[in-house]
């Protein structure tokens, strides 16, 4: 029998070996459909640019308000804390999320990226809910920002398996000096040259502490066991920015590595981004429920 705690990891393992803990199977909504491809201005850097449809703002708020709590804490743990402390589910969730500010903005960008990339890649890769391992709610989660894993069967790994690693930077307020695309590319270089390997080792260690054997085996496909059977690594440098800043950021002169399936720059533009992420977190806490 699979434990609820195994949901941190697996949000999208094939049904025959479904895990429900730190790694989780995909959700029903394809949030990538709520974005449209933005035409880049002449002379801009090369990037995949997507803007949230105005009519999809409520949909993204509804979706993230519902999904965000499980990124920080399992339903099983919410139930346990409610029973032990005689408190409400919103109180439990409020104790996990960051206060308004840079960390909240960063968490929003990472969680949005997790679901966007999960929806826009084939096979519905499993999303790793690493925010459950934050030691301090007002500090960023350690190591690589976003990890998604795809393996049809961890007992029989194939060359077609893949891993997505994303470095995410957020710009929700004006700044003449902070350039999120440039910063995300620098983060990609850190992931490529060692941080990703450390992240996978860390996730395996955490799985031994809180997860079950299926989750551990799934992670080991990418970090320890069977790596002689190669898998694809897809790095993404992601900038989540206010819609009004998109063209200006694309016009900045930045050195970008060669792009292809193994590396891409992705820009997500959302109207009134600061208001949106604060709204989503407020709702995620207020509307938290058990069951």
- Structure-token pair, residue 230: 């190669």
- Structure-token pair, residue 128: 């790793």
The whole domain housing 228 covers 4-286
Mean pLDDT over each residue of the chain, to the nearest integer: 90
Answer whether residue 174 is part of any domain: yes
Nearest to 63 by CA among 10, 108, 6: 108
DSSP letter string, 71-138: HHS-HHHHHHHHHHHT--HHHHHHTTSPPTTHHHHHHHHHHHHHHHHHHHSTT-PEEE-GGGG-SSTT
Answer whether residue 62 is part of any domain: yes
Distance CA 170, CA 127 (A): 20
Nearest to 29 by CA among 55, 59, 70: 59
Is 229 in contact with 155 (CB distance < 8 Å)? no
For the full predicted model, state whether its pTM sits above 0.85.
yes
- Structure-token pair, residue 289: 């429920």
Answer whether residue 118 is part of any domain: yes
Answer whether residue 291 is part of any domain: no
Phi, psi of 97 (to 5 degrees): -95, 155
Distance CA 95, CA 14 (A): 32
pLDDT over 70 (residue 5): no
Cβ neighbours for 221, distance < 8 A, ≥ 6 positions apart: 149, 151, 154, 157, 161, 227, 231
**158-184 confidence digits (pLDDT tens):** 888 999 999 999 999 999 999 999 999
Answer whether residue 262 is part of any domain: yes
pLDDT category, 28, cuts 50, 70, 90?
Answer: low
Answer whether residue 21 is part of any domain: yes
What's the domain count of the chain?
1
Residue carrying the six token digits 């029973």 = 83
Q: Name the least confident of 102-106, 220-224, 251-255.
A: 220-224
Q: Name the least confident of 7-16, 42-51, 103-112, 241-250.
A: 7-16
- Measured CA distances, 39 to 44, 247, 265 (Å): 10, 9, 15
């Amino acid at each position: 029998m699979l434990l609820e705690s195994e949901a941190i990891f697996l949000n999208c393992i094939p049904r025959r070996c479904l895990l429900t803990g730190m790694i989780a199977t995909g959700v029903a909504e394809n949030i990538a459909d709520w974005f449209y491809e933005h035409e880049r201005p002449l002379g801009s850097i090369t990037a995949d640019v997507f803007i949230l449809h105005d009519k999809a703002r409520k949909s993204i708020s509804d979706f993230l308000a519902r999904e965000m709590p499980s990124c920080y804490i399992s339903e099983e743990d919410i139930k346990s804390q409610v029973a032990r402390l005689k408190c409400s589910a919103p109180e439990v969730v409020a104790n996990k999320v960051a206060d308004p500010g840079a960390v909240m903005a960063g968490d929003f960008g990472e969680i949005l990226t997790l679901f966007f990339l999960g929806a826009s890649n084939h096979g519905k890769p499993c999303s790793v809910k690493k925010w459950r391992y934050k030691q301090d709610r007002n500090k960023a989660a350690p190591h690589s920002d976003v990890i998604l894993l795809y393996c049809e069967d961890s007992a029989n790994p194939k060359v077609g398996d893949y891993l997505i690693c994303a470095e995410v930077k957020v710009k929700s307020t004006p700044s003449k000096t902070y350039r999120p695309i440039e910063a995300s590319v620098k983060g990609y270089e850190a992931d490529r040259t060692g941080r990703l390997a450390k992240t996978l080792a860390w996730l395996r260690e955490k799985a031994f502490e809180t997860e079950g054997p299926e989750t551990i085996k799934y992670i080991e496909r990418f970090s320890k066991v069977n790596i002689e059977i190669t898998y694809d690594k897809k790095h993404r440098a992601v900038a989540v920015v206010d819609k009004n800043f998109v063209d200006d950021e694309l016009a900045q002169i930045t050195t970008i590595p060669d792009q292809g399936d193994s590396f891409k720059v992705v820009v997500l533009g959302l109207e009134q981004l600061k208001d949106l992420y604060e709204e989503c977190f407020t709702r995620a806490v207020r509307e938290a429920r058990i069951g």
